[in-house]
Amino acid sequence: MRKSAALKVEPALSPVLRSNLIGQVFKEVCPEHRLLLLDMGCPSSSTVQFFNQYKCRLSFLDLISAEFLSETPQGASHQELVEYFRVSLNIEPDMVADICLFWDIFNYLDGSSLSAFIEALAPHINHRSRGYCLGLLNERNQLPYCQYGIDSQTTLSQAVPLGQQPPVYPHNRRVLTQLLHYFEIDKSRLMPDGRVEYLLCENLLPRPIKPAIF
């Protein structure tokens, strides 16, 4: 897939982003169940404050960074990529996530890397796991370079990080459906600037994971 040009985001980016779906990630949460959450982004004070209302364990993996993304092996085999992401995720073997906050990390992984990333995460997903991510309607839209957090069940925080935005690989809904394997897109909502938010749940009829060819 052709890479889109990275967008240089102006400092005027609003610190608050309205979300129609983030609250639905927690819709079926049992108050007595201790949540296990994986946040692919960097530590966010708003996210920590939001989850103070839940019994939970919150792990920030800090994978949406130019430094990490630039080190993704080029020309590696599918299994080599799977092992790379497995080590990078560094999740305890017996941990199964209730909620995965992917934010926009899928947009910074090409098809081969995204397929391997999803396979590396597979042991930590089950029928209760739900996910949330942000994508683009199509490659004509540009992706703001942001660090995200949760402000409330209807709003996200967004801030411009330091450094240069990594290359962007826009995956539309059709492509994401092919690559996400054990997740399926339960709901999606278009945002005014061309970003799309997705609510992910278990795919009841997952296809075997195959190396992506682009």
**For the segment 49-94, what is each residue's pLDDT rounded down to a tens digit?**
999 988 899 999 999 988 899 899 988 999 999 999 999 999 999 9
Residue 75 burial (10 A CB sphere; 0-12, 13-18, 19+): exposed
CATH architecture of 16-202: 3-Layer(aba) Sandwich (3.40)
Distance CA 155, CA 44 (A): 14
Q: What is the pTM of this model?
A: 0.88
Helix (H, G, I), strand (E, B) or coil at 10: coil
Summarised one tens digit per residue, pLDDT across range 121-180 is 999 999 889 999 999 988 888 899 999 999 999 999 999 998 899 999 999 899 999 999
Cβ neighbours of 58 (radius 10 Å) = 19
Q: Which two tokens stand for residue 183?
A: 């997740």
What residues does each domain of the chain span? Answer: 16-202
The answer to whether 74 touches 51, Cβ cutoff 8 Å, is no
What is the rounded average pLDDT for all residues in the chain? 88
